[in-house]
């Protein structure tokens, strides 16, 4: 099995490529109609322009996940009795509990090798639905996305919040040093962008742990789309990213007044991505440590993201969250001059007065 590339300058060749139709950073485009959507997965007619509110998800059961891959269920049924576990149930047990494969096999009375094959097939099946469930800036109208973010802390023109998170893995047999992150842990560094309702709108799951967040974003397709003006708005990120016209970061040493209010509003709004990552990891305990090759780890991460969005769309109850304080990144890329200009302009126009003062002004105008 192919593992990740020989140096940190390359992503995993067998994993998700954001520039390809099946990539983790992929979005709806002219190839979206190629995505097969089974009526057994979504009830009713669903088009690529449908919003999450239009998606009537069928009751979550094993058939929901197996239906896009009928051969998987057919193959299993022909070789095992009717009392055997359905493949999707086995895979869901793995991603939800993070148990060792042999523990799941013992519980389901099947071999570890069979569990491994099932998890692999189900994850690849879910990966096919990435283009449908992970869309930037989202299924909702752009104006609605910005309004939802604005309601959090009054921050204008936000289309998403971005952050990186490390998923621990076993030390790979090849290029082991590339995967060691700043905590000296082997990991995959995953870029996550979300909307205000915790739906993940972009994921890049293909980079070794030693690659910095800012580089992952810089070489992503989404960065080019924003810089080219394809999407009107900007992302919010921490100081691990350089301040750009399309990616706002906080002031490193804010002056009292508008700059401090900018940072407070920025922090409260950007907390959405930290909560989203916390929900993802709480819902799928396997992400605490993946004992597989880097390539398979990337596929499992993407499958969990798809399942996460399905759970959010269906209104599933959130798991209990234990959000840890993010570790301060010691690497702070230099801000772009035009990025600082946009940040100053936003501060002066929208954070020059307090929220209460703006409400009073609006009452006077009305």
Q: What is the pLDDT of residues 185-244, one digit of tens each?
A: 999 999 999 999 999 999 999 999 999 999 999 999 999 999 999 999 999 999 999 999
pLDDT score of 95 more than 60: yes
Segment 172-181 mean pLDDT: 96
Question: Percent of the chain at pLDDT above 90?
Answer: 57
Residues 6+ apart with CB under 8 A from 266: 153, 155, 236, 248, 249, 250
Asked whether the beta carbons of 137 and 202 are under 8 A apart, the reply is no
Token digits for 122?
């189900």
Q: What is the pTM of this model?
A: 0.77
Q: Mean per-residue pLDDT for 57-62?
A: 36
Structure tokens, 154: 């009054």
d(CA 329, CA 214): 11
Beta strands, E only, the chain: 42-43, 56-57, 158-168, 187-194, 200-208, 234-236, 247-248
| 29: three-class secondary structure by DSSP | coil
- Reported as a single tens digit per residue, the pLDDT across 228-249 is 999 999 999 999 999 999 999 9
3-class SS of residue 43: strand
Number of Cβ atoms within 10 Å of the Cβ of 13: 14
pLDDT for residue 42 is more than 90: no
Q: By C-alpha distance, which of 24, 364, 25, 3 is closest to 222? A: 25
Burial 277-300 (b: 16+ CB within 10 A, else e): bbbbbbbbebbeebebbbbbbbbb
Percentage helix, strand, coil for the chain under 3-state DSSP, each rounded to 5: 45, 10, 45
Instruction: State percent of the chain over pLDDT 70.
Output: 70
| Bond into 137 cis (ω within 30) | yes
pLDDT tens by residue, 250-268: 999 999 999 999 999 999 9
């Amino acid at each position: 099995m192919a593992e990740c590339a020989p140096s940190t300058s390359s992503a995993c060749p067998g994993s998700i490529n954001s520039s390809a139709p099946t990539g983790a950073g992929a979005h709806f485009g002219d190839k979206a109609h190629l995505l097969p959507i089974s009526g057994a997965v979504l009830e009713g007619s669903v088009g690529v322009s449908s919003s999450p509110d239009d998606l009537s998800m069928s009751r979550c059961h094993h058939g929901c996940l197996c239906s896009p891959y009928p051969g998987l269920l057919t193959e299993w049924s022909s070789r095992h009795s009717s009392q055997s576990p359905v493949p999707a149930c086995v895979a869901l047990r793995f991603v939800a509990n993070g148990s060792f494969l042999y523990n799941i096999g013992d519980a389901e009375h099947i071999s570890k090798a069979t569990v491994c094959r099932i998890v692999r097939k189900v994850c690849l099946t879910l990966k096919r639905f990435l283009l449908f469930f992970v869309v930037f800036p989202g299924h909702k109208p752009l104006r609605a996305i910005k309004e939802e973010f604005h309601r959090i802390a009054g921050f204008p023109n936000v289309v998403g919040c971005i952050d990186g998170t490390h998923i621990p893995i076993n030390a790979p047999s090849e290029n082991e040093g590339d995967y060691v992150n700043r905590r000296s842990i082997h990991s995959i560094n995953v870029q996550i962008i979300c909307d205000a309702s915790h739906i993940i709108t972009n994921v890049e799951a293909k980079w070794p742990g030693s690659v910095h967040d800012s580089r992952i974003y810089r070489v992503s397709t989404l960065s080019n789309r924003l810089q080219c003006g394809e999407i009107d708005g900007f992302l919010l990120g921490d100081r691990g990213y350089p301040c750009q016209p399309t990616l706002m970061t906080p002031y490193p040493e804010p002056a009292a007044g508008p700059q401090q209010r900018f940072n407070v509003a920025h922090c409260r709004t950007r907390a959405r991505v930290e909560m989203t990552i916390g929900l993802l990891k709480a819902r799928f305990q396997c992400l605490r440590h993946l004992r597989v090759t880097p390539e398979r780890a990337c596929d499992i991460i993407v499958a969990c993201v798809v399942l996460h969005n399905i759970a959010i769309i269906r209104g599933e109850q959130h798991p209990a969250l234990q959000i840890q304080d993010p570790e301060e990144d010691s690497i702070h890329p230099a801000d772009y001059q035009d990025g600082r200009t946009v940040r100053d302009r936003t501060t002066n126009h929208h954070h020059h007065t307090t929220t209460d003062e703006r409400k009073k002004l609006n009452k006077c105008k009305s």
